[in-house]
Structure 1
Amino acid sequence: MDLPMATPAQLRESVIEQRRAAYKAESDPLKIEAEYDAQIAGSEPDYSAWLAKVAEIKARYPLPE
């Protein structure tokens, strides 16, 4: 039984959904923690860990061309 191939739009949406799930589980908590720590300390947030995690997720789930 042959399964139909996903369209480019379906593939793109699938990758976007995978990214969203990874952002929610992995990168969003880092951003929230940076913002909280900065608020408590009265300083600017250090987003370096969050930015690195977002870049990692984008590399893990590249958008199809």
Structure 2
Amino acid sequence: FPQPYPNEQAARFANGGAYPPDLSLITKRQGTMARTTCLLFLLVTMTHLLVFRFVRVCITIPTSLVVP
């Protein structure tokens, strides 16, 4: 797999300070790990989206209660 970021600092910046795992090592572990890698990617992506949605709702609801 090609590296998605030019260096570790760019990767940490794009991922909120966390250095993303090297998924190529996971797929090399076993030949049938493609499904597991996809599920892991989906889990990380969905968790990320749910957290941002939760934060957006927490900010939007109090603001809408204040404005008459």
Do they fold alike, i.e. is TM over 0.5?
A: no
Query: Radius of gyration: which is bigger?
Result: 2
- TM (norm. structure 2) is 0.38
Q: Which has the higher contact order (CA 8 A, sep 6+)?
A: 1
- TM (norm. structure 1) is 0.39
